[in-house]
């Protein structure tokens, strides 16, 4: 036997593909988290990052395919070794601050360019690892199937994803993670180089007899190689977006759907016995229906959040299991291995393209998950009918009953995904979907009201009756923390209030003199137009209003000290948490813009995150004392329950606001910096 074909080369193949997959999926949450706060902190940032990663994965698979098919062995080795050296030259990864956006607008192209410059070459090399190493393996060991290595590759990816939120993110800052990743990449590069040379020295495998070669795959098989992974990719990104919208935009909830997606690959490609269409089809129909029902419940309790996450992940896993199980049944002989993987990666990139670029243009609301669930539910019943066609043809009464169940369930799904209220306008941008809705009766005031809603969060409400429309509502009523803080200074002619987060402009109602100023900072360019077209708080303001477009922190950093008596941070009530607005560095910037006796009011009414330790920790780093004002509102009273933390150096302000503060026995402090923040540590579900 040729010594170059010994078992040690198989070990190199296994280690290379395992480490490459680990690094491939470790860098995704690292860089996505790094740039997340730069671009508004919404699910679209992760979706855009996934579009980039899937597109480069496709490019890496294309390189593997064409280098194996078109390049002579010596040239192939030289090109690949050169690519390994080029990738090492880009270490360590980590975006420069110059990539931060300078103004409002859709940052999709900027994110794609940033990632291409920062990690494009190393990620391209890592992307080529799977198909190339399996091609080596099939040449060196022609009597052994290379597809088990594909399951090993996905196992490495899964290990990277699960270790990130539980091990790397809590323990290390972003730059430390980047350095560790760079050292691991250098080890991978050495291993990859050794495997490249060893596979080249092993030479080509013995030629198979002509009669042993399979006929080329049919066109419909090749089409399914693309369409099946495309739909699985669509559902992956749609489920991730849905979970982030329902719970929080954190790496933990990016990782879970991707883990379910990869687990289906591992199970489907490990052995044919794991995928049984007769079993997975009914499960897919049931879980698709359950996920839709849970999504429509508008969960508020921790238990319901757990059920929503579980139902969404269960439906995603079943869909991916059916897609990838059918894909595994269509896998060709090793001779067509690189073409097969190229088609799979192309399908994944197509799904990412549809969700990341096409859907925001075509849909005015987030319909990707609902549409995907509808398709999955319909396809599941079609698969049930196909796999049990013999029984159905023999028993017409059973067929009729199944048809009634399927149609009734489909009709119920349509009802579940409907919405209440009269829609006035809906807009969609990179920063999310905004709905303006009218309600004839809000349960408190006659005359009706108008709401601004994003996802499940109400960002503002105004009563429609002329006598009521000037009154502060929701979280901003006079008894709220921010209301009490502003009213301390309301009599001053020089009152200056800064607000991070425009909403519908409710806080403009607190100005009472023409010389007073309220300045809003808003990153979503659609928000100002909606507030001016459909609400009157800005137009009715008795003082002056200003709206500064773009990221609040970048805007404040470029301004001279504003001397705000109250600086309200109202960017944390939704499921999109811009962590860069709650770091030690950010708090130092706020203090610079504060009047000597001013108050920083932080709105922390969040269903899933307990931000009190973070606000307390970063405030005390700058010598600020904190008070927590919690307002509980009964259902038959105007306003919404809210929690505000008030940060100030002023003893007189602390004395005046003290009677309204709650006794807080929790003295925990969490310090977030621009380099290290961990949303999972403050997740209420824990």
pLDDT for 416 equals 55
Calpha distance 342→127 (Å, rounded): 11
The CATH number of 218-406, from 1.10.10, 2.115.10, 1.20.1250, 1.10.287, is: 1.20.1250
CA distances from 200 to 137, 414, 581, 649 (A): 11, 57, 53, 70
Asked whether residue 105 carries a pLDDT value surpassing 90, the answer given is no
The confidence band for 182, taking pLDDT boundaries of 50, 70 and 90, is very high
pLDDT of residue 212: 43
Residue ranges of the chain that CATH labels 1.20.1250: 1-202, 218-406
Q: Does domain 472-682 have CATH number 3.40.50.150?
A: yes
Task: Identify any residues that bridge with 485 across adjacent strands, giving them in sequence order.
Answer: none
pLDDT in tens, 321-336: 999 999 988 888 777 7
Closest alpha carbon to 521 in 548, 496, 539: 548
Q: How far is CA 652 from CA 179, 368, 560, 567, 649, in A?
A: 48, 52, 26, 17, 9
Which residues lie closer than 8 Å to 31 by C-beta, 6 or more apart? Answer: 49, 93, 94, 95, 115, 118, 119
- Scanning 141-218, the segments in alpha helix (DSSP H) are 147-163, 169-171, 174-202
- Measured between alpha carbons, how far is 598 from 654 in angstroms, rounded to an integer? 11
Question: Can you give the length of the chain in residues?
Answer: 686
Topology of domain 1-202, per CATH? Answer: Growth Hormone; Chain: A; (1.20.1250)
Q: Which pLDDT does position 213 carry in this prediction?
A: 46
| Per-residue confidence (pLDDT) for residue 271, from 0 to 100 | 73
Task: For strands 594-603 and 432-439, give the pairing.
Answer: unpaired
User: pLDDT > 70: what percent of the chain?
Assistant: 85
Give me the pLDDT at residue 215, please: 47
Q: What are phi and psi of 615, to 5 degrees?
A: -60, -45
pLDDT tens sequence across 300-312: 666 777 788 888 8
321 vs 325: CA distance, rounded Å: 5
Residue 406 pLDDT exceeds 70: no
Nearest to 258 by CA among 236, 238, 289: 236
Rg (CA), the chain: 28
Q: What is the pLDDT of residue 130?
A: 83
Whole-model pTM? 0.78
């Amino acid at each position: 036997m040729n010594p170059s074909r010994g078992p040690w080369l198989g070990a190199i193949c296994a280690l290379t593909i395992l480490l490459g997959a680990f690094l491939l999926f470790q860098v995704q949450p690292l860089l996505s988290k790094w740039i997340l706060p730069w671009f508004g902190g919404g699910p679209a940032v992760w979706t855009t990052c996934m579009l980039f990663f899937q597109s480069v994965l496709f490019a890496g698979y294309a390189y593997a395919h064409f280098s194996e098919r078109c390049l002579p062995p010596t040239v192939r080795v030289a090109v690949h070794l050169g690519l390994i050296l080029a990738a090492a030259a880009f270490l360590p990864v980590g975006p420069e601050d110059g990539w931060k956006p300078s103004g409002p607008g859709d940052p999709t192209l900027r994110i794609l360019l940033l990632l291409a410059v920062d990690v494009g070459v190393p990620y391209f090399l890592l992307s080529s690892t799977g198909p190339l190493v399996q091609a080596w393996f099939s040449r060196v060991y022609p009597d052994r199937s290379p597809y088990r290595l594909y399951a090993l590759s996905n196992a490495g990816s899964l290990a990277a994803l699960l270790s990130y939120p539980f091990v790397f993110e809590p323990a290390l800052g972003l730059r430390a993670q980047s350095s560790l990743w760079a050292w691991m990449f250098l080890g991978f590069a050495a291993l990859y180089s050794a495997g490249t040379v060893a596979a080249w020295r092993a030479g080509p495998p013995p030629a198979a007899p002509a009669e042993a070669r399979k006929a080329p795959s049919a066109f419909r098989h090749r089409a399914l190689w693309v369409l099946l992974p495309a739909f699985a990719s669509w559902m992956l990104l749609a489920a991730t977006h849905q979970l982030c919208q329902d719970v929080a935009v954190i790496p933990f909830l990016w990782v879970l759907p991707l883990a379910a997606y990869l687990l289906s690959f591992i199970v489907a490609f490990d052995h044919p016995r794991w995928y049984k269409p007769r079993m997975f089809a009914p499960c897919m129909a049931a879980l698709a229906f359950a996920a839709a029902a849970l999504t429509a419940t508008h969960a508020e309790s921790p238990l319901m959040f757990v059920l929503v996450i579980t139902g969404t992940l269960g439906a995603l896993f079943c869909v991916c299991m059916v897609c990838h199980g059918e894909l595994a049944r269509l896998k060709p002989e090793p001779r067509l291995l690189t073409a097969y993987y190229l088609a799979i990666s192309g399908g994944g990139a197509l799904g990412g393209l549809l969700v990341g670029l096409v859907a925001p243009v075509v849909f005015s609301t987030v319909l990707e998950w609902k549409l995907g669930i509808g398709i999955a539910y319909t396809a599941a019943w079609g698969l049930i009918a196909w796999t049990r066609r013999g029984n159905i043809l023999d028993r017409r009464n059973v067929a009729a009953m199944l048809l009634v169940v399927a149609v009734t369930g489909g009709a119920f799904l349509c009802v579940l995904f409907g919405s209440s209220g009269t829609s006035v306008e809906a807009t969609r941008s990179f920063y999310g979907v905004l709905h303006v809705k009218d309600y004839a009766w809000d349960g408190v005031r006659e005359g009706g009201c108008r709401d601004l809603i994003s996802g499940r969060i109400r960002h503002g409400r105004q009563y429609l009756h002329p006598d009521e429309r000037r009154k502060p509502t929701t979280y901003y009523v006079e008894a709220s923390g921010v209301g009490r803080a502003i009213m301390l200074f309301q009599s001053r002619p020089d009152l200056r209030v800064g607000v991070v987060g425009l909403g519908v402009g409710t806080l403009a109602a607190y100005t009472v003199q023409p010389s007073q100023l309220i300045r809003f900072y808003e990153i979503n360019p659609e928000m100002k137009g909606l507030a001016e077209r459909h609400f009157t708080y800005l137009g009715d303001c008795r003082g002056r209003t200003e709206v500064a477009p773009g990221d609040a922190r970048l805007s404040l950093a470029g301004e001279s000290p504003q001397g705000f008596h109250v600086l309200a941070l109202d960017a944390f009530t939704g499921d999109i948490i811009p962590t860069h607005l709650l770091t030690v560095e950010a708090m130092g910037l706020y203090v610079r813009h504060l009047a000597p006796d001013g108050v920083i009011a932080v709105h922390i009414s969040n269903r899933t995150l307990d931000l009190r330790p973070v606000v307390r920790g970063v405030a005390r780093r700058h010598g600020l004392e904190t008070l927590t004002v919690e307002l509980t509102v009964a259902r038959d009273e105007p306003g919404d329950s809210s929690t505000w933390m008030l940060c100030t150096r002023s003893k007189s302000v602390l004395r005046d606001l003290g009677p309204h503060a709650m006794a807080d026995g929790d003295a925990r402090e969490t310090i977030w910096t621009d380099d290290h923040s961990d949303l999972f540590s403050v997740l209420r579900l824990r």
